[in-house]
Amino acid sequence: MKEAKKMTGEDREQILVTSILTVLPMLIGLILWNRLPDRIPTHWNFSGEIDGYGGKASVVFGIPVFILAMHLFSISATRQDPQSGNITQKIRSLVLWICPVVSLFLCILIYPSAMGYEVDSVLWADVLIGGMFIVFGNYLPKCRPNNTIGIKLPWLLADDDLWKRTHRMAGPLWMIGGFVVLLDAFLRSKRMWVMLIVLAILTMVPVIYSLALCQKKNHM
C-alpha cells in the first residue's frame, strides 16, 4: 500500500476554485431572485416534461449547499482512500471538477426554465452524460488500482495486471459510448432505449471481460 500524498498548494487552489464554482449558482440565484417564481422546476421526466418543483429558497440555497457538501465529501474520501498514493494529480483534478460541473449544469437547466424559457432538458442531460463518459473513458486506462475512480471490483483491486488490462479495454469502450450518446442527442431522437443500452454495455462488458481474464489466469 502506497502512502497517501500530501496536499499541495495546487490541490488547495483547485479545491478553492471548484468549491466557489459549485456554489456560484447561489449567487446567480440571488441576482435573479426577483425574476424567479416561488415554485421552481427541479425535476424532469424522460420525455423532458417538468414533474417536480421546489421552493425558491430551497432551490437557490439548498441545491448548491448540498452539492458543495458532496464535493467536500468526495475530496475527503479521495484523500482517505487506502490506495490514495495510486491516484495521480490528473485523477484528483477530475474528481474535483465533477460536482462543479453538475452544479453549473443544474443552474443552466433550472433558472431559465423557472423564468419561462424553453429548455431541452433531455438534450442537456445527454450532452452532460455523454461528455462525462468520454472524459472518464479517456482517464480509465491511466488509473492505477484505487477505491475512488475506476471499475472497483474486488478481483481487480487485488490484481494490478487484471486492473490494468480491464481498464485499457474499458477506456475506449466508454469513449465510444459517450460519442453514441452525444450523437443521439444532436440527432434529437430522444430515444431512452439508446441511453439504457449504452449504460448496460458500459457496465456489463468490463465486468464480463474482467471475469473472463480472471478465470483464464486462474486456470493457467
Residue 206 CB neighbours (<10 A):
22
- Between CA 117 and CA 109 the distance in angstroms is 10
Q: Where are the domains of the chain?
A: 1-118, 120-220
How do residues 84-98 score in pLDDT, each as one tens digit? 788 888 888 888 999
How do residues 18-30 score in pLDDT, each as one tens digit? 999 999 999 999 9
Residue 169 pLDDT exceeds 80: yes
The distance from CA 86 to its chain's CA centroid, rounded to whole angstroms, is 20
How do residues 57-81 score in pLDDT, each as one tens digit? 999 999 999 999 999 999 998 888 8
User: Rg of the chain's alpha carbons, rounded to an integer?
Assistant: 20
How do residues 38-50 score in pLDDT, each as one tens digit? 999 998 887 778 8
Q: Once rounded to an integer, what is the mean pLDDT over residues 100-122?
A: 92
- Between CA 197 and CA 138 the distance in angstroms is 20
Residue 133 pLDDT exceeds 60: yes
pTM as predicted = 0.83
Helix intervals (H) in the chain: 9-31, 56-57, 63-80, 89-114, 121-139, 154-157, 160-186, 192-218
Cβ–Cβ under 8 Å, residues 129 and 195: yes
By CB atoms closer than 10 A (0-12, 13-18, 19+), residue 12 is exposed
Cβ–Cβ under 8 Å, residues 175 and 196: no
